[in-house]
Amino acid sequence: MTTKKRSWQTLRSELKYENPWIRVEEHSVIDPSGDPGIYGTVNFKNRAVAVLALDPDEHIFLVGQHRYTLNEYSWELPMGGAPAEETPLAAARRELREETGISAVQWREVMRLHTSNCVTDELGIVYLATELTFGDATPDPTEDLDVLRLPLADAIDWVMTGRITDAISVAGILRLHADRESADHSLRD
């Protein structure tokens, strides 16, 4: 038996806060049960782009930094924001070069995801970058980054033990692992 699901109805939206990166709105709504309510949303002005920079030895590169919102040090994939006027791939190339000094010849989008889609519209795009060359990093003045080359197997362990918790990094690393496992399985068949 299937029943028709009701959707949310927006009666009014009000801007509560805005800065160069986000816009916070409060919405007067009718919820799916038919009751009135409020809903808050965080709308991102950039798309998040992350890079799985993979070398021939099956190592990836992570950046470590203190994250203000968590008041914690975080290991994650090189990533940043892609404004509307920049393609996600161009932003991924830029972020990888700025944060790590790495450039890549081959690029492939491996996934798109939404983070915390109950309150935000953030879109994350993860790229695989291979055929790497190395140079000097030029991070933004507000970034104090450490760069780490880590075997993919260790990165998976860091995800599974909670040492890597950034959602886009977790998803990207597990996706790369799944792709590698699938390819290995196909070769054995």
Beta bridge partner(s), residue 27: 13, 39
Stretch 157-163: mean pLDDT, rounded?
Answer: 98
Question: Does residue 189 surpass a pLDDT of 90?
Answer: no
Q: Alpha helices, DSSP H only, in 134-166?
A: 152-160
Question: Does domain 46-105+123-188 bear CATH number 3.40.50.2300?
Answer: no
Q: Which two tokens stand for residue 181?
A: 């496992």
Question: Does residue 176 surpass a pLDDT of 90?
Answer: yes
How many Å apart are CA 52 and CA 78, to the nearest integer? 8
Q: Order of strands across the sheet with 46-53?
A: 79-83, 46-53, 123-134, 102-114
Average pLDDT, the chain: 94
Intra-chain end-to-end CA distance of the chain, in Å? 41
pLDDT band at 170 (very low <50, low <70, confident <90, very high): very high
Inter-axis angle of helices 167-188 and 152-160, to 10 degrees?
130
Of residues 112 and 3, more confidently modeled? 112
Q: What is the pLDDT of residue 143?
A: 87
- State how far Cα 94 lies from the chain centre: 15
Where exactly are the structural domains of the chain? 9-43, 46-105+123-188
What tens digit of pLDDT does each residue of 22-42 get?
A: 999 999 999 999 999 999 999
What tens digit of pLDDT does each residue of 40-82 get?
A: 999 999 999 999 999 999 999 999 999 999 999 999 999 999 9
What tens digit of pLDDT does each residue of 115-142 get?
A: 999 999 999 999 999 999 999 999 988 8
- 90: Cβ contacts below 8 Å, ≥ 6 apart: 82
Q: What is the pLDDT of residue 79?
A: 97
Strand 22-30 vs strand 9-18: parallel, antiparallel, or unpaired?
antiparallel
DSSP assignment string, 35-54 = -EEEEEEEEESEEEEEEEEB
Q: What is the pLDDT of residue 1?
A: 56
How many Å apart are CA 171 and CA 99, to the nearest integer? 20
How many Å apart are CA 55 and CA 50, to the nearest integer? 16
